[in-house]
């Protein structure tokens, strides 16, 4: 199955909140920041949802997205990483010696400088020998002009390096807050697309935000409406993803997926996160 975004969010309205789950073309994820932002953006900008914060419920506890004009702020549970030893496959695949190794959901490899993070050329063939489902590998270091930088790699995934990873910052924020002795920080993810996050450590919760159209979205409202219209038309579905959620009734589903060369109409904007609004027991991925 082809999908030009890393994850797709599936949401179901339950009372005043939403249940949410995230899928890559291969697996179900336990948490995804940018797809959650995509869901909040579409709910507020295109479906008339007015309340703030928006509550999303998942196996990762309650997730909140606060909305102030065009600013969306993620409020996620903190995942404090603990010191550990990295598997030799990861060390061989990264081919740089970290100064510290920690783990929560993801392995966190800490390096001395931003230059090392930029220069890392991971060997995907080696790293694909390990399965960290549903986690990945974070490489991080102090930043030159920001508090810390990072990159995120997912072995055995069709999208190997994630552009900007909100869920990884559930571990990065508490780590760097303690390391730097500050609770408010500016972070930079050094993927080819890249993006800045404004972060705050709140103990058992972490906040991160950016303006849609920056790191998580790169689309304009009129193009989003065009995409809605395209995907509400008849589409070939290559695979079905089965999942069940309590208290649901069948209705129409709205699919916002990545904008790229696979869309019926070429648009020069794309966003890293898809959305299915699917109050039914069956969802489709194209």
Catalytic positions: 7
User: CA–CA separation, 161 vs 176, rounded Å?
Assistant: 22
List the end-to-end C-alpha distance of the chain, in Å, as a whole number. Answer: 7
User: CA separation (Å) from 87 to 99, 108, 232?
Assistant: 15, 12, 45
Write out the DSSP string of 257-279: ---STTSSS--S-EES-EEEE--
Are 72 and 41 within 8 A, CB to CB? Answer: yes
User: CA–CA separation, 76 vs 8, rounded Å?
Assistant: 18
**Quick one: tokens of 68?**
């102030």
Q: Identify the sign of the CA torsion 194, 170, 273, 119.
A: positive
H or E element in which residue 179 lies = helix 169-180
User: CA–CA separation, 251 vs 249, rounded Å?
Assistant: 6
């Amino acid at each position: 199955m082809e999908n030009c975004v890393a994850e797709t969010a599936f949401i179901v309205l339950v009372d005043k909140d939403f249940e949410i789950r995230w899928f890559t073309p291969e697996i179900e994820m336990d948490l995804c920041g940018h797809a959650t932002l995509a869901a909040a953006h579409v709910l507020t900008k295109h479906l008339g949802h007015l309340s703030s914060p928006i509550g999303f419920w998942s196996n990762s506890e309650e997730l909140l997205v606060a909305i102030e004009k065009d600013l969306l702020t993620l409020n996620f549970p903190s995942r404090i990483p603990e010191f550990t030893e990295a598997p030799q496959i990861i060390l061989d695949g990264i081919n740089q010696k970290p100064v510290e190794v920690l783990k929560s959901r993801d392995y966190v490899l800490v390096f001395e400088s931003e230059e090392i993070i930029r220069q890392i050329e991971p060997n995907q063939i080696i790293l694909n020998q390990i399965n960290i489902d549903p986690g990945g590998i974070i490489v991080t270091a102090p930043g030159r002009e920001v508090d810390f930088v990072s990159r995120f790699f997912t072995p055995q995934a069709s999208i190997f390096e994630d552009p900007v990873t909100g869920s990884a910052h559930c571990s990065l924020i508490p780590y760097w807050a303690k390391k730097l002795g500050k609770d408010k920080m500016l972070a930079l993810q050094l993927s080819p697309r890249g993006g800045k996050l404004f972060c705050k450590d709140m103990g058992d919760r972490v906040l991160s935000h950016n303006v849609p159209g920056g790191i998580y979205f790169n689309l304009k409202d009129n193009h989003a409406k065009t995409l809605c219209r395209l995907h509400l038309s008849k589409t070939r579905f290559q695979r079905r993803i089965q999942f069940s959620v309590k208290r649901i009734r069948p209705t129409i589903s709205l699919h916002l997926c990545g904008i790229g060369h696979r869309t019926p109409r070429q648009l020069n904007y794309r966003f890293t996160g898809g959305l299915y609004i699917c109050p039914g027991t069956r969802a489709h991925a194209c």
